[in-house]
Structure 1
């Protein structure tokens, strides 16, 4: 009989966090259950683990009491009840705050806990409030292991007090059969089709990216840009959206700028194959210190299909994109360097093709979801 891991997350499954499902899907020797607040976007993702969504699977009155108790105690009685029922061998919390929330339950039931940090939980929350540093101190002391997707994120964990001996780099994997390599050919005179994708978060660098594309066109390049994603409804995200529309209008590139909004994952995959390159110039937000933590998963998916990437020397991106081999890396906020990279791919079709081949090979070697699933099972095994 297989061992059981209980995953804890906020919403299962956010489209922008589909990599959580990929990790669970490729656990072969371990069964999984999920504790979440809500469940959504489950259509078309294949077989799901058993999911308990506390705001949906218990009557509304009890759900409100459970939520209030969670705020008061720092853990939800419904999660304790379900964990006692499932009797997992290991807890796996996805994001630091979920590790804090399930830590008392894990301690009470004597179950080891591994917590994966992904980005904002390392760079944004600790700088936002000392309360998070206090919560993390307890988590780091009592938690068994902490996973980071790359060396830079691991160093950030150390900087906020996580013991180095408890940290392991666990790279995220992608399903290579879903993102097969297909070469893109650009005929002479055909515009360079540029793709950007993600939430309109300041750290994603959309404003720098669109300015770079506009400058590329102003200096004689022929191109089209597709922007997949949109605002998350926050004030800062709405500001990014307004800036992007302003840039498109002021640089007179509205006719060659396609704002597609949020689209299903299968449609995003199609967009990879409809474009010649990915532009992803992430940077650290000066006011808050927030950064990517690791590297956007879109970089993995796009490269697997054969898209060269123009990105930045930010967080773990240099461990995912090889500068001048699978793409180009500019310094953060250096629009002129992004423009130069766009022209390099525009003017040298051979280089663009070679980078696409290199990118696909790198992803197959370093980010195969099947291999990463086996690695994650090894983490669980060492805790029991």
Structure 2
């Protein structure tokens, strides 16, 4: 561990630290570190109980007389005092709007910021419009942004970030995924993700239903939960394919590895939402490809950076579930292609999107901006 550098990992989880990125930074980055959460300006240490949080929030509410401007100032001052007390050299923000929210406090202490750009904060038109000026201020400060998809880069430049401030780096797959041996003969598809508009789970079910007409022994395991879960389950019932689709709910990392080892092909039908939101680079796709599964997905967000169409999987247009079904069938007709695409994908992710590579890039960004 390099004790010359101390970082604060800032996550905007209201009740607890959040996000895959933060968990991996806590585990792998070779610096002294503290973890803060509690909102866009985080002011609770990791480990703060909900009772302690409630007491402080109530106290701040009284002190501010429920005036939002005064409350924001109290929170900012507490965040600033934590950075001073801990002698932090750099703040690593999980989202760009978190980085923007903490910029003023960091500027007063001359502390640089490295901020991940994960998706909604640069894709959703309303979010960008609301935060445009703050993003520009962040761009004009000592900052580096880390977009997880290449299609975010022009948007970052549009709000003022220079090429030298932008490092493209998706999270990457952990080592254990490269050790998985899929069951290429299983005819089992697997989908993992939130049941939300952006993941279009209904399109996935429609595509799989098409496959079943020619491959009645095919199976689909669908992991995750979310607001469209019941709608998805109802569609499965309406199509009378309950015996072919297994819903397993939220899964642990250990269960994910187990399910990938029993599967042959990973599918995900990501789309741009009605409010303009889009994926960054879905970690589940990186992990499935690292595990040796070919991918059938959409030409969307960072997916196009991580799946080579016709070599590590197939990509179709958004909302074209019929073509998605065609591509799924094409793989089932060619078992040798399943293995070829799967092994190509594993090698491609190992060379370009491993966890080790991502951590090295974040470490380099922090050392560069801290100048140590």
* Distance of 2:34 and 2:171 partners within structure 1: 20
Relative to the length of structure 2, the TM-score reads 0.88
Aligned CA RMSD, in angstroms, stands at 2.4
Alignment of 1:5-20 (within 5 A): 5-11=7-13, 13-14=17-18, 17-20=19-22
Aligned to 1:32: 33
Residue-by-residue CA offset, 1:280-326 (whole Å, 9 max, x unaligned): 111111x200100x210001111111111101111111110111111
Q: 1:67 and 1:364 mapped to 2: Cα distance? A: 49
8 Å contact kept, 1:36–1:54: no
Q: Aligned partners of 1:244, 1:52: CA distance in 2, in Å? A: 36
Assess if the C-alpha contact under 8 Å between 2:292 and 2:342 holds in 1: yes
Of 197, 202, 210, the match for 1:202: 197
8 Å CA contact 1:278, 1:310 repeated in 2? yes
Cross-structure match for 2:131: 132
For structure 2, list consecutive stretches of 5 or more residues without a partner in the other structure: none
Helix, strand or coil: the match of 2:195? coil
The residue aligned with 1:308 is 294
Count of equivalent residues: 356
Residue 371 of structure 1: how far off its partner (Å): 2.8
- Where 1:383 maps in the other structure, the secondary structure is helix
Deviation at 1:76, TM superposition (A): 3.5
Secondary structure of the 1:307 match is coil
Aligned to 1:265: 253
* Cα 1:371/1:200, change in 2 over 3 Å: same
- Please tell me whether the aligned partners of residues 66 and 77 of structure 1 are also in contact (alpha carbons under 8 angstroms): no
Whole-angstrom distance in 2 between the partners of 1:225 and 1:63: 45
Q: In 2, Cα distance between the equivalents of 1:373 and 1:129?
A: 27
In structure 1, distance between residues paired with 2:128 and 2:308? 35
Aligned-partner Cα distance in 1 for 2:300–2:38? 32
Aligned to 1:365: 351
Q: Quote the Cα distance in structure 2 between the aligned partners of 1:184 and 1:71.
A: 56
Q: Are the equivalent residues in 2 in contact too, given 1:281–1:311 (CA < 8 A)?
A: yes
1:37-186 alignment, distance < 5 Å: 37=38, 51-52=45-46, 56=50, 58=52, 60-66=54-60, 71-72=68-69, 73=72, 75-124=75-124, 126-128=125-127, 130-186=129-185
- Looking at structure 2, the residues matched to 358 and 221 of structure 1 have their Cα atoms a distance apart, in angstroms, of 28
TM-score (norm 1): 0.85
Counterparts in 2 of 1:341 and 1:79: CA distance versus 1, 3 Å: same
Q: 3-state DSSP class of the match of 2:46?
A: strand
Query: Is there any run of 5+ residues in structure 1 with no aligned partner, and where?
Result: 39-49, 232-236
Does residue 322 (structure 1) correspond to residue 314 (structure 2)? The answer is no
Offset of residue 140 of structure 1: 2.5
Aligned-residue offset at 1:36 = 1.0
Shift of residue 53, structure 1, vs aligned partner:
5.6
Residues in 1 aligned to 2:52 and 2:59: alpha-carbon distance in whole angstroms:
11
